[in-house]
Amino acid sequence: MGKPILLACDWGTTNLRAWTLDQAGAVVADRDFPLGVSRLAPGEAASRFESEVRPGLDAAGLPAILCGMVGSNLGWITVPYAECPAGLGDLATRLTAAAERVRIVPGLRCEGLAGAPDVMRGEETQVLGWLAQHPDRRTGRQFVCHPGTHAKWVLVEDGRVVRFVTAMTGELFAVLREHSLLRSDAPVDDDAAFEEGLTAAGQGDALAARLFTARARVVGGKAAPGSTPSYLSGLLIGAEVASVPRLLGEAPGEVALLGDARLCERYRRALTRIGIAAEAFDGEAAAIAGLFALGAPP
């Protein structure tokens, strides 16, 4: 481990994850800060970054590279989206200075569904960082899924993001679990119920009708109420996996999963079930690789 040369941050809606990196891109120190942009007052990001993040990682004076919602209209400054197709080089030329020695990565925008655009902030750095980790990933066609509150399905060709589709699966799960007749605080740990939900997802069509099965299986059958969150997770993920990838133009033969390990495992199970190979990769490592590729001093 060498001397730190870069402060790298993934600054999201609810949390800020920061690392100092050495000349090889290895992590010297890391820390989480409860400074998500949704928790900050307008104009507060700059002062909190200098008063808490830099000293918290002993990073005074280091160049800093930031990605995520910090570049949105809720964050430090609004950084315009880069248009797809885009690769690391395209993002590097569009980094925006927020302060002295602080640059923010732009998000991506592409043509979405029904004539509306689709957008991402932060996931692009993970996807392009994953490509940067191995040269063979930068040629040919790759399908990448980033599960989460707003899952991203990304088509990459020769190292550039061509287009992507967003699915609000994680947010829908949270809303249904907390604010609907399916509400429950039971853990998502019932494997049998999860598999039952995957089966109930079918081809992902008529989702509103399929969702009611989560209620009917309990009140009209013999399913335990505590199994509902696991069943609902399987139903929603199964419906997403069965229907959303086709919106990219063709069904993938293999998918790279980036993100939280437990959530990626659920997606892997859903994909494998319908005959699509899937491998999970460390989303944090990919984010670090992307930030280093974009922000390392020459």
CATH at 251: 3.30.420.310
Kindly state whether residue 239 falls inside one of the protein's structural domains: yes
Kindly state whether residue 69 falls inside one of the protein's structural domains: no
Kindly state whether residue 189 falls inside one of the protein's structural domains: yes
Taking the C-alpha atoms of residue 118 and residue 62, their distance in angstroms, rounded to an integer, is 34
Summary mean pLDDT of the chain: 96
Kindly state whether residue 173 falls inside one of the protein's structural domains: yes
pLDDT of 298 reads 82
pLDDT of 249 reads 87
pTM (two decimals): 0.95
Structure tokens at 120: 């991402």
pLDDT in tens, 171-193: 999 999 999 999 999 999 999 99
Kindly state whether residue 145 falls inside one of the protein's structural domains: yes
Which residues form the domain of 227?
A: 116-289
pLDDT in tens, 201-220: 999 999 999 999 999 999 99
Average pLDDT over residues 106-120: 95
**Is residue 208 within 8 Å of 190, Cβ to Cβ?**
no
Kindly state whether residue 192 falls inside one of the protein's structural domains: yes
Taking the C-alpha atoms of residue 201 and residue 214, their distance in angstroms, rounded to an integer, is 11
Closest CA to 291 of 109, 30, 78, 2: 30
Residue 1 has pLDDT above 80, yes or no: no
Number of domains in the chain: 1
pLDDT of 133 reads 96
